[in-house]
Amino acid sequence: MRVPARLDVMGGIADYSGANVCEATLGLGILVAVQPQQDALVRIRTLPVSRQGLPVETRIPLAWLGSRTRRHGLDEVRRLFHGNPLAAWAAYAGGSLGVLLQEESVRLRGGFHILLLSAVPMNAGIASSAAVEIGTLCALDACLGLGVGAARIARLGQMAENRVVGAPCGIMDQIAIASGRQGQLLHILCRPGAVSGTVSVPEGTGFIGINSMVRHSVAAAPYGDVRIGAFMGRQILNDLRAKKGLPSVKHLTELAATELPLQRLPEQMPGGDFLKRYQSHGDPATKIRPDVVYRIRGPVRHAVMENERVLRFIGALRAAAAGDEAGCVAAGLEMYGAHASYRDECRLSVPEVDFIVEAVRRRGVKRGLFGAKITGGGAGGTVAVFGRRDALRRLVPEIVAEYERRIGIRPEVFQGTSPGALEFGAWRYAPRAGGWSWRRA
């Protein structure tokens, strides 16, 4: 099974608030192979891409993940990986298997070999963790003949990330990797998570990623604290709506910007004060810490405004694809607006990322670069850049060299596009007349 990394073009952290998002697949990806075994062990192994790396393997008794004779809850599966430093790295693949066994009521007589070969760097903000989860689930689904389907596989991947890995991600990464299309952007409505369609990239233009090399993690506090602030804000808004006889909202993005009573939302609030008044923020993926002061107004405003920016962005790209030359410029402005909101409303940007965005802005539309923004969970990672293909080829090396001179680190550039898991399909190595060969599963 081969799955791609994803480039978050628009939407990012608004996914857990039910936003529209717009995602691309990148040219680099992960290969996942699974092989059934007679014994009751799950062996998860990685192979190095370079000669310097060493293979890594961990072994887990199948009964610890869920089997015919014994079944653990996902909390216990999480403790299995997090309680053993030698096995923690395998939580993405092993946790995905555990979720599949338990949520789909699968019973196995034997274990598996799971082999991972990845060209996707970790902590770069291009969904390396979701790629492992979706690749593992798709390979297992094909091997076992379950026919689970892309939408359910994406949901199981998110469950593995939330409940086993312990990262409070939304659903967009898993859907983008499972259902992404080569050469197109995927429009996803994360309410709760479904593909709304594809968006054509205007002729002669493209998207690339520039990795700031500042390590990013959705399991880290900055991302989680912004998510908590958004859910706290939703609870406060629903309390205000109830007093006016209005129905509650499940997702912040059900509201338009004009419906937000921002003056009634606190700028920030200690977690302990919130819990005393509201008891819960209603988010099972995160836990409020009483001693932490959470920003509320900014994360709420970002979610609602980002949802509207994404819709304007999609409209602008479609206009550009239909021949409106101003469409690319308008789409780029929405990307700059998204970045400013990450930085100012959520405080999830970093100086290195701001440097790349401003380097793109300085070169600007006249030189063929339309827009740039931080991606995914922020706090480092990759910048998405939109421009004419000839301008990207000419100017991105310029930006890379400038970044290296000023920051002292050479950034990576992520280019190209490739099929999502569903489009690529699973392949099986099986006997045929005269030997063994690969065929579609």
Contacts by 428-437, CB closer than 8 A, 24 or more apart:
428/142, 428/143
Band of residue 4 on the pLDDT scale cut at 50, 70, 90: very high
Q: Which of 32-41, 43-52, 198-207, 210-219 is the least confident region?
A: 43-52
Q: For the chain, what are the domain ranges?
A: 2-200+421-440, 205-217+301-414, 223-297
Return the CATH class of domain 2-200+421-440: alpha beta
Neighbours of 113 (CB within 10 A): 15
H-state helical runs in 61-208 = 74-82, 91-103, 128-144, 150-159, 172-179
Lowest mean pLDDT among 165-179, 275-289, 378-392: 165-179
Measured in degrees and rounded to the nearest 5, phi and psi for residue 273 equal -65, -40
Q: What is the mean pLDDT of residues 294-309?
A: 96
Q: Which helix (H) or strand (E) holds 115?
A: strand 112-118
pLDDT band per the 50, 70, 90 thresholds, residue 59: confident
- How confident is the model at residue 83, as a pLDDT? 67
What's the mean pLDDT when you consider all of the chain? 89
Cα→Cα distances 416→220, 332, 333, Å: 29, 19, 23
For residue 261, the model assigns a pLDDT of 85
Q: For residue 221, which phi and psi values (nearest 5 degrees)?
A: -60, -45
DSSP string over 230-285: HHHHHHHHHHHHHHTTPPP-SSGGGS-GGG--GGGS-SEEEHHHHHHHHS--S-TT
H-assigned helices in 189-249: 221-243
The larger pLDDT score, comparing residue 145 to residue 309, is at: 309
Nearest to 17 by CA among 382, 243, 296, 215: 296
Full-model pTM? 0.89
Tens digit of each residue's pLDDT (9 = 90 or more) over 358-378: 999 999 999 999 999 999 888
Q: What is the pLDDT of residues 378-413, one digit of tens each?
A: 888 899 999 999 999 999 999 999 999 999 999 999
Higher pLDDT, 88 or 226: 226
Average pLDDT, integer, range 291-307: 96
Q: H helices of 104-220, where?
A: 128-144, 150-159, 172-179
Q: Which of 349, 350, 369, 353 has the alpha carbon at shortest distance from 361?
A: 369
User: Is 205-217+301-414 assigned to CATH 3.40.50.720?
Assistant: no
Rounded to the nearest 10 degrees, what angle do helices 221-243 and 297-321 cross at?
Answer: 100
C-alpha–C-alpha distance, residues 156 and 164, integer Å = 11
* CATH topology match: 2-200+421-440 vs 205-217+301-414: no
End-to-end CA distance of the chain: 10
Asked whether residue 133 carries a pLDDT value surpassing 90, the answer given is: yes
Residue 53's pLDDT is 53
Type of residue at 151 = A
80 or 361: which carries more pLDDT confidence? 361
The rounded distance, in Å, linking the Cα atoms of 312 and 331 is 7
pLDDT value at 426 more than 90: no
What is the Cα–Cα distance from 215 to 2, expressed in whole angstroms? 25
pLDDT for residue 168 is more than 60: yes
Model confidence at 69, in pLDDT bands (50, 70, 90)? Answer: very low
Query: For the stretch 47-79, what's the b/e string if a residue is b when 16 or more beta carbons lie within 10 angstroms of its beta carbon?
Result: eeeeeeeeeeebebebebbbbeeeebebeebbe
Comparing C-alpha atoms, which of 164, 189, 175 is closest to residue 15? 189
Place 342 in a pLDDT band, splitting at 50, 70 and 90: very high
Q: Which two tokens stand for residue 254?
A: 């059900």
| Residue with the two structure tokens 């608004």 | 14
**Between residues 324 and 66, the one the model is more confident about:** 324
- Tell me which DSSP letter residue 163 carries: I
Calpha distance 214→383 (Å, rounded): 11
Q: Map residue 338 onto helix, strand or coil.
A: helix
> Tokens 């579609």, residue?
440
pLDDT at 68: 42
Give me the helices (H) in 345-387, please. 351-363
Assigned token pair, 181: 């299309």
pLDDT band at 135 (very low <50, low <70, confident <90, very high): very high
Owner of token pair 């380097």: 359
Sequential DSSP letters for 383-420 = EEEEEEHHHHHHHHHHHHHHHHHHHSSPPEEE------
pLDDT value for 70: 46
Task: Categorize the per-residue pLDDT at 58 as very low, low, confident or very high, splitting at 50, 70 and 90.
Answer: confident
Q: Report the pLDDT averaged over residues 58-72.
A: 65
Q: How large is the average pLDDT for residues 33-61? A: 77
Per-residue confidence (pLDDT) for residue 312, from 0 to 100: 98
**pLDDT above 70 covers what percent of the chain?**
91
Question: What is the pLDDT at residue 89?
Answer: 77
* Nearest by Cα to 221 from 166, 269, 173: 166
Residues 6+ away with beta carbon under 8 Å from 225? 292, 294, 295
Instruction: Give the per-residue pLDDT at 184.
Output: 96
